[in-house]
Amino acid sequence: MPVPTQSRVVVIGGGIIGCSTAYHLAKLGLEVVLLERHKLTSGSTFHAAGLVGQLRTSANITQLLTESVKLYAGLEAETGLATGWKQNGGLRLACNQARWTEVKRQAATARSFGLEMHLLNAAEAQKLWPLMQVDDVVGAAFLPTDGQANPSDITQSLAKGARMNGAKIFEDTEVTGIETAHGRAVGVITGQGRIACETVVVCAGQWTRELCATVGVNVPLVSVEHQYMITEAIPGVTPDLPTLRDPDRLTYYKEEVGGLVMGGYEPNPIAWAEDGIPEKFNFSLLNSNWDHFAPIMELAMGRVPALQTAGVKTLLNGPESFTPDGNFILGEAPALGGLFVGAGFNAFGIAAGGGAGKVLAEWVAGGAAPYDLWPVDIRRFGRNHQDIGWVRTRTLEAYARHYTMAWPSEEFVSGRPLRRSPLYDRLLAAGACFGEKLGFERPNWFAAPGETALDIYTYERPNWFAAVAREHFSTRNAAALFDQSSFAKFLLLGRDAEAALSWLCANDVAKPPGRLTYTQMLNARGGIECDLTVARLGEEKFYIVTGTGFATHDFDWITRHIPSGMDAKLIDVTSGYAVLALMGPRARDIISRLTRDDVSNAGFPFGGVRTIHMAGAPVLALRVTYVGELGWELHIPTEFAVTVYEALMAAGAAHGLVNAGYRAIETLRLEKGYRAWGADIGPDQTPLEAGLGWAVKLRGAQNFIGRAALEAQRAGPLKKRLCGFVVEDPAVVLLGRETIYRDGERVGWLSSGGFGHSIGKPIGYGYVRNPSGVSDDFLTTGGYALDVAMEKIPCKLQMTPFYDPGMARIKA
């Protein structure tokens, strides 16, 4: 069959991801052609071990993985091709108390996501997996719906299913180029000719980065060696053996023809193909590296003594694409319309394949992700992810951490510092303990003299607790200075800038110059895509401020949704401005010592934006707050930042001004009830559900994206609502994802958790769900508890801020 000259969609790559995507596209009725340069499965897929686990830290990514399991369970019956699917369940061991806490918290999470997970003691776990010794096992989790598959068979089965639904699959057909026109992908070039198309989906595994780079699309993934051993048959290994993960020994196991497959995640991974993937690397493996595998083998033999005498068939070494944060990469490229990516599967592409192909197909067909996929969205990356050397360094760290403890608030350590604010050295000297977002160093907290500026991770109260409390109280009682230079900042310029933003924003931004607006931008479902501040600087000039991590996403969202033909141009000015947030009741006293401009409440009211002159610098001052105190965000041309910082610290000394960091911001915003995008709000939640209805211009006539969905939603009862929860016992540690119980029934999970220092209690936020509606009455008549590591902790629901600085001072 000759390659066609056109198709609605072209999928590049015949591994599990490409075949699954083609299968789902065809099922949706889209015309699709899949092109594979060699044979199906000849990339990473043919040599995968085939474990299929489902639990992730995000509810939606867990949902995606459960979709794989649902698909695999019925695929063989559908296509008549065997898949090797076995649903024997999955065991996960915990060998110390911290890991056991992690597993118990995961179990609570799994249950709230609707995934069955049982906790077992060591003896119970051993019954399921008799070959292992359990002297060091504290406990285990068992997920009965996990399973295993034969990666090649399941891929061929998906390919057959795709063909059965009309997809055309061509092997030995390499894509040598992607054609673009007017900022869109419009076709592909192959050895057999050109195919014109509306959408290209690149599922080319570890080849994806180089192929996409040819059209200016950055896909930060690198190849890393990964090994597992296959043994001869071992007495006692039965076909019904669950898969086993032993993270404290960095290893995993599955049954295969009476023997074991055993692999692991070495702490010193080896990057592969740093100078490019060799030509004709098809159905190819790398040389076994026994020296590198020896420590993993040692750990495994301690768990499964039978390995000491088992015959070894092979030590398989295969390269796979890994990413800097350990998550895969999906979605439409921000740099090129019509080009979608599904790649970087970090050694769980078989587990993710079914679900990833499904959401990718729905994304292509519907023009939007079917649900919030932010943790795997290609727009989560930024400028720091463009240099391949940096990406490799960070990716190797992420690989090495695959099985290590996932501590709350844990930061990456490699490739740092990279992006530094002009104040970095001063803050370091002042005791800053830095965290990092999109490569930008940001102070998390400040150590006092005698303290060490170093995070010591734990599931208990952490070592930075007291420092954060100090900064918190300084902000509440005096003033604090936060370096928020990493904020993403854009200018929207043009005759139609107001009209474009009025269409994009849910709140009314058509204010006179000098005013700013807190607003969301919504998708057609009414879900919150962006959460930002829009300041009007002139008739045709708006300044937009959003979170550090959302720089690529929000820039892409805005540019894509400016109606065509409008004169409105978006420019990223992030690097042009440092940002110092001066917050606290003494902020005005401090700022007025440095400027002759009117900063009185009448002269510079809340919601104002103006250039003021302080310490010799022209400073764009925004009267906003994310901590619930009087204050200004000072946006300072970068070269003036140090001067302004020094002047503020000097003027503030008499008023108790301190440096403060992001962890203090978090406790302050939790008390005040400000929402965080990516946690409390996102594409699956509307402003009405999030309690942000006050920031939506439904009363006026102006149409905006998402308006129709909100109006429809307003007509009926809300099925979920964001609520605050407070726990009396100050020792309880809330981290987010704890299950919410109402009158003993599971109704949701926490989207944020932390500690409110002013009220001296743990605070959480989460959506309470009820299919027949969440009325005020429903909320207030229930009795609530939170599941914290499998313990039910009573809590109180509250719909108003836990701490209102204004009210607190009036009472005082």
Ligand X SMILES: Cc1cc2nc3c(=O)[nH]c(=O)nc-3n(C[C@H](O)[C@H](O)[C@H](O)COP(=O)(O)OP(=O)(O)OC[C@H]3O[C@@H](n4cnc5c(N)ncnc54)[C@H](O)[C@@H]3O)c2cc1C
The correct pick among 23, 348, 381, 543 for binding ligand X (CB under 6 A) is: 348
* HSE of 200, CA atoms in CB hemisphere, 13 A: 28
| Closest residue by Cα to residue 356 from 384, 375, 337 | 375
18: contact with ligand X by CB under 6 A: yes
Q: Please identify, among the stretches 39-47, 551-559, 658-666, 803-811, the one whose residues bind ligand X according to the rule CB under 6 A.
A: 39-47
User: Please, is 533 exposed, middle or buried when counting C-beta atoms within 10 Å of its C-beta (0-12, 13-18, 19+)?
Assistant: buried
Q: Token pair of 147, please? A: 């399973």
Q: How far is the CB of 375 from ligand X (least distance, A)?
A: 17
32: contact with ligand X by CB under 6 A: no
The correct pick among 30, 94, 204, 727 for binding ligand X (CB under 6 A) is: 204
Binding to ligand X (CB under 6 A) within 215-254 occurs at 226, 228
Contacts for 601 with CB less than 8 Å, ≥ 6 apart: 588
Mask 295-324, x = binds ligand X (CB under 6 A)? ---------------------x-x-x----
286: contact with ligand X by CB under 6 A: no
Q: Token pair of 317, please? A: 């070494």
DSSP string, 622-678: E---SSSSSEEEEEEEGGGHHHHHHHHHHHHGGGTEEEE-HHHHHHHHHHHT---BT
The correct pick among 16, 167, 627, 660 for binding ligand X (CB under 6 A) is: 16
3-state secondary structure of 319: strand
Q: How far is the CB of 332 from ligand X (least distance, A)?
A: 17
3-state secondary structure of 710: helix
Q: What is the C-alpha to C-alpha distance for residues 285 and 195, in angstroms, rounded to an integer? A: 32
Which residue's CB is nearer to ligand X, number 381 or number 464? 381
Q: How far is the CB of 14 from ligand X (least distance, A)?
A: 5
Give the dihedral of Cα atoms 599, 604, 610, 613; nearest 10 deg: -10
Measured at the CA of 674, the angle between CA 480 and CA 667, to 5 degrees, comes to: 50
Q: What is the C-alpha to C-alpha distance for residues 345 and 351, in angstroms, rounded to an integer? A: 9
Residue 6: phi, psi to the nearest 5? -155, 155
50: contact with ligand X by CB under 6 A: yes
3-state secondary structure of 769: strand
Which residue's CB is nearer to ligand X, number 348 or number 725? 348
Sign of CA dihedral 271, 277, 278, 283: positive
The correct pick among 47, 92, 623, 675 for binding ligand X (CB under 6 A) is: 47
480: contact with ligand X by CB under 6 A: no
The correct pick among 11, 26, 30, 51 for binding ligand X (CB under 6 A) is: 51
Q: Please identify, among the stretches 296-304, 343-351, 453-461, 662-670, the one whose residues bind ligand X according to the rule CB under 6 A.
A: 343-351
Given the structure tokens 């009862």, which residue do they identify?
A: 717
45: contact with ligand X by CB under 6 A: yes
Which residue's CB is nearer to ligand X, number 205 or number 764? 205
The correct pick among 14, 326, 370, 608 for binding ligand X (CB under 6 A) is: 14
Which residue's CB is nearer to ligand X, number 105 or number 392? 392
Which residue's CB is nearer to ligand X, number 47 or number 675? 47
Which residue's CB is nearer to ligand X, number 13 or number 139? 13
Q: Please identify, among the stretches 47-55, 133-141, 461-469, 577-585, the one whose residues bind ligand X according to the rule CB under 6 A.
A: 47-55
The correct pick among 7, 33, 44, 770 for binding ligand X (CB under 6 A) is: 44
Q: Please identify, among the stretches 7-15, 591-599, 610-618, 688-696, the one whose residues bind ligand X according to the rule CB under 6 A.
A: 7-15
331: contact with ligand X by CB under 6 A: no
Q: What is the C-alpha to C-alpha distance for residues 198 and 725, in angstroms, rounded to an integer? A: 48
Sign of CA dihedral 636, 638, 643, 648: positive
Q: How far is the CB of 63 from ligand X (least distance, A)?
A: 17
Contacts for 275 with CB less than 8 Å, ≥ 6 apart: none
454 neighbors 433 (Cβ within 8 angstroms): yes
Q: Which helix (H) or strand (E) holds 611?
A: strand 609-614
Q: Please identify, among the stretches 32-40, 117-125, 575-583, 733-741, the one whose residues bind ligand X according to the rule CB under 6 A.
A: 32-40
Which residue's CB is nearer to ligand X, number 47 or number 761? 47
Q: How far is the CB of 205 from ligand X (least distance, A)?
A: 3
Which residue's CB is nearer to ligand X, number 177 or number 618? 177
356: contact with ligand X by CB under 6 A: no
354: contact with ligand X by CB under 6 A: no
141: left (phi over 0), alpha (psi -120 to 50) or beta: beta
The correct pick among 23, 85, 207, 374 for binding ligand X (CB under 6 A) is: 207
293: contact with ligand X by CB under 6 A: no
174: contact with ligand X by CB under 6 A: yes
361: contact with ligand X by CB under 6 A: no
351: contact with ligand X by CB under 6 A: yes
Q: Token pair of 745, please? A: 């029934």
Which residue's CB is nearer to ligand X, number 124 or number 174? 174
177 neighbors 151 (Cβ within 8 angstroms): no
DSSP alpha helices (H): ranges in 525-657?
Answer: 551-561, 587-591, 641-652
Q: How far is the CB of 210 from ligand X (least distance, A)?
A: 8
3-state secondary structure of 320: strand
Q: How far is the CB of 805 from ligand X (least distance, A)?
A: 49
Which residue's CB is nearer to ligand X, number 47 or number 536? 47
Q: How far is the CB of 345 from ligand X (least distance, A)?
A: 3
423: contact with ligand X by CB under 6 A: no
Which residue's CB is nearer to ligand X, number 174 or number 411? 174
Q: Token pair of 561, please? A: 């949704």
Q: How far is the CB of 774 from ligand X (least distance, A)?
A: 37
DSSP string, 193-252: EEEEEEEEEE--GGGHHHHHHTTT-----EEEEEEEEEE---TT--TTPPEEEEGGGTEE
Contacts for 655 with CB less than 8 Å, ≥ 6 apart: 478, 479, 586, 589, 590
345: contact with ligand X by CB under 6 A: yes
Q: What is the C-alpha to C-alpha distance for residues 445 and 460, in angstroms, rounded to an integer? A: 18
Question: How many amino acids of this chain bind ligand X (CB under 6 A)?
Answer: 39
362: contact with ligand X by CB under 6 A: no
Q: Token pair of 686, please? A: 């509307």
First-to-last CA distance in the chain? 82
Q: How far is the CB of 230 from ligand X (least distance, A)?
A: 11
Interface contacts to ligand X, rule CB under 6 A? 12-18, 35-38, 42-45, 47-51, 174-175, 203-205, 207, 211, 226, 228, 316, 318, 320, 343, 345, 347-351
